[in-house]
Amino acid sequence: MTARRNRSPVLQCTTVTPLPTGEALAALLAMQGGPDDAADHLADMAFVLCELGEHTDETEHAAHLWTAEAQPPPGLWFLWTGNNGGLRVHHRFATLTMCPARLHDLREDSRRWCGLFEDHPGRHSFDVSDPLRELLHERIRREARRRAVAEDSDPDDEGRETP
């Protein structure tokens, strides 16, 4: 058993909803510093995923559509709420300043900005883990360990627990 860190990341919400393309196009075109070809940009966005950490039903889901180049950077967000059946009951577009928080990883000397908007609910995006990506990483780790064990020892020893 590996010891868990106290500050374990929260899971991403991952609620998905179809994006109302016509309204999204209008919102992008109305935005200062929007994409050059808004229709092209939206081509891959038939569905959008909530990017917040797990949250309650009172909090709107939020998906990021675009960030304009300005200081501080404004982002266009699609915000919505759903009912228990997963149907969307309310939605809106909002231009929100991006969250100024960043994580400085001293070991890797890398900086990661929070990918959410300022005053967003819940944790910063670098504390939110995507369950699908985590699952994939766990599988890669297991596979690597399995190979290391296979190379390292007699195959008959596999499965035997070391105390």
Which of 24, 28, 38, 114 binds Zn ion (CB under 5 A)? It is 114
- Between 27 and 116, whose beta carbon lies closer to Zn ion? 116
**Residue 102 or residue 147: which is nearer to Zn ion going by CB?**
102
Binding of residue 17 to Zn ion (CB under 5 A): no
By CB under 5 A, the count of residues binding Zn ion is 10
Q: Which of residues 57-96 bind Zn ion (CB under 5 A)?
A: 61
Give me 34's structure tokens: 């929007």
CB of 126 to Zn ion, least distance (A): 8
Interaction of residue 123 with Zn ion, rule CB under 5 A:
no
Exposure letters 38-58 (e unless 16+ CB within 10 A, then b): beebbeebeebbbbbbbbeee
Contact 76, 66 (CB under 8 A): yes
Taking CB under 5 A as the rule, does residue 99 contact Zn ion? yes
Q: Under 8 Å CB-to-CB from 48, ≥6 apart: which residues?
A: 16, 17, 19, 63, 65, 78
Query: For Zn ion, which residue of 15, 48, 66, 95 counts as binding (CB under 5 A)?
Result: 15
Residue 16's DSSP bridge partners are: 49
Task: Report in angstroms how near the CB of residue 140 gets to Zn ion at its nearest.
Answer: 27
What tokens were used for 24? Answer: 């999204």
90 phi and psi angles, rounded to 5 deg: -155, 145
- Token digits of residue 136: 């994939």
Q: Which range, of 3-11, 86-94, 106-114, 153-161, touches Zn ion by CB under 5 A?
A: 106-114
128 binding Zn ion? (CB under 5 A): no
For residue 32, how far is the Cα from the chain centroid? 25
Interacting residues toward Zn ion by CB under 5 A: 13, 15, 50, 52, 61, 99, 101, 114, 116, 124
